[in-house]
A = this chain, B = another copy of it.
């Protein structure tokens, strides 16, 4: 049996979960991996704070160098943020320690350099917990689908925003009210920007893009929209059209080593899409690949225990699983612009006065007549026909003035959201199974 010393940086949500899992599941880990993982030293900021796991109290320090001097082969970074996490991870790698981290921001922004450094030092850098919490997304891609060319990846990667959208849809409640309640309950941070503006998802998508498409794309170049502008009316109209709205991470690659498109933002999903039923704080990833067709993974994307699971699995895998082949750090990725990509689009209009429309079907016919291909229309029922939702089969930035002129509207707020197609294989099997739409 191998004995591995672990230095833990941070004893917050994730760090505490890791201590607990290593303690409670020591027997399983030993039996299945023949490895004894022992925490030798723990770095915190405030040495006075009362800790939940009492038996590690004697190993707590505020001096990073003391962690490195302990008898360790691995450093687990669970501090978060760029500074000082980055410096500590670099120093650990330089010192010849493997590193396991849950830090999406660090890996999204500096993952390539850090991996390079790890490679030079002959150690490993693993970060399963950084994407999708407990869901073993990165492991699945790297170890269980490696003979597949994955060409599309769609994810619900932020539990806070999925929780908010779920409640907005089910309670028909406005964003601000649900957010405030989520903050009160501890599901959203006091400063919710990282979640609701999509930064957190963009970090995760950057990591997935590197791993799945071998595309090194700076986070700042990933088009990103948040969910602040989504209204319960939009959610209701979408549902009547057969869709739901989710904050999605979307990545696509056009042939191997070809250009990629990455984007983060709210989008419509057909209700028969495998990600549509993913509710509340759950996360999920949908992968489309050439041999396996499509695979969906669903689970808890955050929280003490699920996140700890991912960290501890990484700890076990460090000494068992083969390293993924490295990316050449000089690789240039061609990022396609993602807006107005000519795909299907949901258009939402809110008129100041009742619209002169007798029925959605009539409206579709009228628009079709002037050359706008509309797949569905729905009118806000309780509103004297002031709200209007339309699904365009193909969208073009030149459409809004045509559309507004045809409807005889001026100065009306028109907002659009992309619509995610049903995966090809789903369309087939939905048709085969007689499942409508």
Chain B positions within 8 Å of A144 at CB level: 136, 139-140, 143-144, 313
> Nearest Cβ in chain B — how far from A400, in angstroms?
35
Chain B positions within 8 Å of A134 at CB level: 291-293, 295
Complex interface: stretch among A44-52, A81-89, A299-307, A332-340: A299-307
B25 near A290: Cβ-Cβ < 8 Å? yes
CA gap between A32 and B317 in the complex, in Å: 18
CA gap between A21 and B147 in the complex, in Å: 8
B296 near A292: Cβ-Cβ < 8 Å? no
Residue of B nearest to A272 (CB): B279
Chain B positions within 8 Å of A425 at CB level: 300
B280 near A148: Cβ-Cβ < 8 Å? no
User: Which of B143, B147, B293 contacts A25 (CB under 8 A)?
Assistant: B147
B147 near A309: Cβ-Cβ < 8 Å? yes
Q: Can you add 14 more A-B contacts, CB < 8 Å, to A21-B147, A34-B325, A293-B300?
A: A25-B290, A28-B148, A32-B147, A136-B144, A147-B309, A147-B313, A280-B429, A280-B430, A281-B429, A292-B299, A293-B305, A293-B306, A295-B299, A300-B429
Complex interface: stretch among A95-103, A165-173, A383-391: A165-173
Contacts known (A143-B143, A322-B320, A435-B170); A298 close to B295, Cβ less than 8 A: yes
Task: Answer whether residue A321 sits at the interface, using C-beta atoms and an 8 A cutoff.
Answer: yes
Chain B positions within 8 Å of A34 at CB level: 325
Chain B positions within 8 Å of A324 at CB level: 32
Task: Answer whether residue A107 sits at the interface, using C-beta atoms and an 8 A cutoff.
Answer: no
User: Which of B135, B149, B187, B277 contacts A432 (CB under 8 A)?
Assistant: B187
> Nearest Cβ in chain B — how far from A33, in angstroms?
6
Contacts known (A25-B147, A313-B147); A292 close to B320, Cβ less than 8 A: no
User: Which of B24, B25, B310, B325 contacts A32 (CB under 8 A)?
Assistant: B325
Residues 92-128 of A, flagged 1 when their CB comes within 8 A of B and 0 if not, give 0000000000000000000000000000000000000
B299 near A21: Cβ-Cβ < 8 Å? no
**Which parts of A396-418 form the interface with B (CB within 8 Å)?**
none
CA gap between A29 and B325 in the complex, in Å: 11
> Nearest Cβ in chain B — how far from A236, in angstroms?
16
Task: Answer whether residue A392 sits at the interface, using C-beta atoms and an 8 A cutoff.
Answer: no
Task: Answer whether residue A434 sits at the interface, using C-beta atoms and an 8 A cutoff.
Answer: yes
B147 near A279: Cβ-Cβ < 8 Å? no
Residue of B nearest to A274 (CB): B298
Task: Answer whether residue A190 sits at the interface, using C-beta atoms and an 8 A cutoff.
Answer: no
CA gap between A313 and B281 in the complex, in Å: 32
Task: Answer whether residue A197 sits at the interface, using C-beta atoms and an 8 A cutoff.
Answer: no
Task: Answer whether residue A74 sits at the interface, using C-beta atoms and an 8 A cutoff.
Answer: no
A25 near B149: Cβ-Cβ < 8 Å? yes
A433 near B290: Cβ-Cβ < 8 Å? no
Residue of B nearest to A173 (CB): B434
Chain B positions within 8 Å of A29 at CB level: 146-147
B295 near A147: Cβ-Cβ < 8 Å? no
**Which parts of A361-381 form the interface with B (CB within 8 Å)?**
none
